[in-house]
Amino acid sequence: MASTAPSASPSSTGDQPKPNIGEILKKSGMRALGGGMAGAAAMGINVGALMWLRTTVNYQYRKVRR
């Protein structure tokens, strides 16, 4: 069996110029902020839903226990 060399894919032939460092950082920054926004929204929901419970339990532990 003869071994054939892999053919070059269209994207690796040099048709597209390499992005510069500014473009790379801008793209990665937007991806990071996208995940950060989802995390911030989840944190806000958790705090709004559960902080009252934590406050109540802490108050009972300190003031109501006998």
Confidence of residue 66 (pLDDT cuts 50, 70, 90): low
Q: Dihedrals φ, ψ of 15, to 5°?
A: -70, -35
- d(Cα 22, Cα 63) in Å, to the nearest integer? 57
pTM score of the predicted model = 0.41
Confidence of residue 55 (pLDDT cuts 50, 70, 90): very high
Per-residue pLDDT of 15-44, as tens digits, reads 888 889 999 888 888 887 777 888 889 999
- 53 or 34, which is more confident: 53
Q: Dihedrals φ, ψ of 29, to 5°?
A: -65, -40
> Which residues are CB-contacts of 19 (< 8 A; sequence separation ≥ 6)?
27
